Structure formats: structure tokens, C-alpha cells
Amino acid sequence: MKNPKVLFAGTPEFAVASLQALVGSGVVPCAVLTQPDRPAGRGKQLSASPVKQFALEQDVPLMQPVTLRDAAVVAELVALEPDIMVVAAYGLILPESVLEIPRAGCLNVHASLLPRWRGAAPIQAAILAGDAETGVCLMSMVAGLDCGPVYASTAVSIGDNETAGELHERLASLGAGLLVRHLGAIVDGELSPKQQIEAQATYAPKIRTSDAAIDWQRRADELERLVRAYNPVPGAWFMLDGERVKCWRAQRIAAVDAAAGTVVAAARDGIVVSCGDGALRIEALQRPGKGVVTAAEFASQMDLVGLVL
């Protein structure tokens, strides 16, 4: 089918890449679903999702249901008679009543090599685990968490110093390309998906701010990955003088003779903190309400050596 009738569902920047690719290839969705506007920023003003902003720019019909379990919403989707529904980081659960609407089913652009890292935060999970590679999959959606059969996938290596934000950008672009390349064959039934191996499944739960807390008793290599995994959201952090200080860049170095959490040096190249195994050299930090500064700038504001964090 040259121009399939596509229903698109997505919310954050990751989804925009796939939506842009569809439109750029001449496949303009019959409608775009995205989550309702949410309060954002210090003023808590309602903010449109990145997908909504792009859809409005392209003058594509937009829907923002609070839930897809509403019979009236389901009826609207049925009336659209889509050939396929493409889902990318939408954030709402698709009930059976919606999964059954498109003739060719619902297709998910997922940022991992399924069955590894099913769930809400696969990019962060891959970095935290020290995976050498990750990728994107085109998965046929079924009831259950990311457990449907996979049509196609592409793997990429994870850089030694790559942050979740940087990897996110690469995977979003990779997923968009994979989608456009295989969409026609999927809609036409020319590509058969392969079942996932259930025994190999791992899960990446939704991220909490508490997950990003730095526990200095842990190994330095684990903490280095934690800093990368939670950059830019929510940002790895530790407490200093009653303030939650965010750590944006750090490198593990050889062990130093000091109790875990002790600041043993504060020089131009970084602030060195002893860990449970090894040490972490912090290179960029941010105090609440302030901008990101280098370790040298931060250290010039207070005497850190000898403090136990």
C-alpha cells in the first residue's frame, strides 16, 4: 500500500522523530494522539507536548484523550478506519478495544533490543547495566508490557561516555528510519514478526527521583553509569549542606585511601570523592536554582576537602 492510513500516538521528543519521518516520507497521519497538556516549569503553566507542537505546525488532526478506555474516544478512533496505528512513547495504555481497531494492528517504536529492557525507561536501564549495545525495535503490540512479536530491529554500540540524552537522540533517529523503511511491508503483510524469547526478558521501570541519588558506598563504575543514565532527567544528585546538588558529568578513577563519601581532592580537573570501590571525579555540578558549573568553579565557592558527603 503506497499511502497507508496511519494513526499516530506519541508524546515526547523521542516520538517527534518518528512523526517527522512519516510526514517527510509523504505519510501524513489521519490523526495524532498525544497526552493532555501538563503543568511544566516553575510557573506550572500548561505546556503542550513536543508531538502536539509538531502536529499543530503540520495542521494534522489532534486528539488528547485522558484515557483510551472511554467508549466515545474508541468510537472516534474506529470511525477513522486506520490501516495501522504507530505508537512511540505515548504514555497511555492501549486497551484491547483500541489494539483491535487498525486493520494491520498497532506498531510500537521501542528504544531497546527486545526482549531486553521492556518498560518505561529502556535507555537509562541499558546504560545503568553497562550494556555494550542497545537499539530500537518495531514491535507488534499485544496486551501486556512490550511482549509482542518484533518485525525489525537495529543495534548500536553505547559510547563509553555517552549520556542518556545523547543516546536518546541517536535512537530516536534510528527508530524513525526503521519505521519508514518497514512500514509499507508491515501494512501489506509482507513482513512477519518474530516472537520474543520470554526467558530473556528484562524490565526497565519508570524512573523516580530517588533512583538518581548517589550512594557513595557503591562502586565508582556503577556511579559513573548512574550519572550518565540520569543525564538529563532527573539528574544524579547528592546532599551537601542541606542542598540537593546535581552531578552532570563524572569519571571513575583509581581507589583512594579514604572512607566512602569523603572528598579527597578539589582541583581544576575535578572534585574527587571516595566510593565503596574506587573513586569518582566529578567534573560538572549544579546547585538548586543555579546554572551548571565546572568542578573548579564549584570548589572555589567552598572548602570541600575532608567533607563526608
Q: What is the pLDDT along the chain (309 residues), one digit of tens a residue?
A: 678 999 999 999 999 999 999 999 999 999 999 999 987 766 677 889 999 999 999 999 999 999 999 999 999 999 999 999 999 999 999 999 999 999 999 999 999 999 999 999 999 999 999 999 999 999 999 999 999 999 999 999 999 999 999 999 999 999 999 999 999 999 999 999 999 999 999 999 999 999 999 999 999 999 999 999 999 999 999 999 999 999 999 999 998 889 999 999 998 889 999 999 999 999 999 999 999 999 999 988 888 998 999
pTM strictly above 0.75: yes
pLDDT at 149: 98
Burial 23-44 (b: 16+ CB within 10 A, else e): beeebbbbbbbbbeeeeeeeee
Per-residue pLDDT tens digits for 40-81: 766 677 889 999 999 999 999 999 999 999 999 999 999 999
* Spatial separation of the C-alpha atoms in residues 309 and 306, rounded to whole Å: 9
Residue 265 three-state SS:
strand
* Spatial separation of the C-alpha atoms in residues 118 and 102, rounded to whole Å: 23
pLDDT at 3: 82
* Spatial separation of the C-alpha atoms in residues 238 and 225, rounded to whole Å: 15
pLDDT at 256: 87
Alpha helix locations (H) across the chain?
13-24, 50-57, 71-80, 96-99, 122-128, 164-187, 220-229, 295-299
Query: Are 306 and 262 within 8 A, CB to CB?
Result: yes
**Domains of the chain, CATH where assigned:** 6-204 (3.40.50.170), 210-299 (3.10.25.10)
pLDDT at 41: 67
* Spatial separation of the C-alpha atoms in residues 192 and 190, rounded to whole Å: 7
pLDDT at 106: 98
* Spatial separation of the C-alpha atoms in residues 108 and 150, rounded to whole Å: 9
